[in-house]
Chain A
Amino acid sequence: MNIPPAYVLALSGILFAMGVLGVMIRRNAIVIFMSIELMLNSANLVLIGAARAMAPAVEALRGHVFVFFVIAVAAAEVAVGLALIVAIFRTKGTIDVDEVSSLRG
């Protein structure tokens, strides 16, 4: 499968930019979280692309291992983050981030 590495990078960049946009624009906390997942995913894509580009060297598999870790960490982070959102919903009654602005100076 011969895919130019530049294309993978470009795709990843586009997905990353869209994730950033999501964090900025959306007001639903959960959707913001999902945009963050999108960003992590784009990073994974770069790692896999780089690993493929270094094949058949045995170090190339390091990229896969790294992605494995990223996915595991993402899972943990999602668990805790969603728990937080649930806790905030219980307290504030809303998950609109614009509503939880009581820390304003």
Chain B
Amino acid sequence: MTLDLLLFLGLALIAVLAAAGMLASRDAVYSALFLVLNFLTVAMLYLLLNAAFIAMVQVTVYAGAIMVLFLFVIMLLGTGREVIGGPQRWQPALAVLLVAALAGEILFILLGPAAQMGTEMLAAGPQFGSPASVGRVLFSEYLVPFEVISILLLVAMVGAIVITRVQRRSQS
């Protein structure tokens, strides 16, 4: 058991528990906070995997911006606690069954084809995963998608504004 492995397993455990917490909590705010914890844990896992730049992006964008947005909306809508029961009572049971099937299939893959993957990873250089190297690839090979993504973000912004615009005329 090397240090890496221990570290990895610990972080993995926290991530899974946080995810479980997100699923289980009745209060939406608790769920959001659990998810933030999950993201942070995953960011650390990225660091372990020599993805420094991405780890920072994860923290900044995902945990920092996206989850904040979620919390804003939760606060805005002021949701109460979720009521158990109501229509579709059989849904959770069926869902668990199907997800178990999914998990089974993933396990099957892991034990089958994935088992042929080696356990050793080669040493990555110190520059691997650094912003410089990622940027080099991003702005040379993937320049066009990069530009397209920026347009996409613009479109999303405009869309969000349009959707939430208050229609004054129709209300009167």
Contacts and interface: CB of A to CB of B under 8 A. Distances in A.
Direct touch of chains A and B (CB < 8 A)? yes
Interface of A: 1-11, 13-22, 24-28, 30-31, 33-35, 37-38, 41, 44-45, 48-49, 51-53, 55-56, 58, 60-62, 64-65, 67-69, 71-80, 82-87, 89, 95-96, 98, 101
A27 B82 contact: yes
Contacts, number: 244
Interface in B1-35: 2, 4-5, 8-9, 12, 15-16, 19-20, 22-23, 28, 31-32, 35
Contacts of A84: 163
20 contacts: A1-B49, A7-B8, A9-B114, A15-B15, A17-B102, A18-B20, A26-B82, A31-B22, A31-B28, A34-B32, A44-B42, A44-B54, A45-B45, A55-B123, A68-B57, A72-B61, A72-B152, A80-B163, A85-B73, A86-B76
Most chain A beta-carbon contacts within 10 A, residue among B2, B129, B136, B159: B129
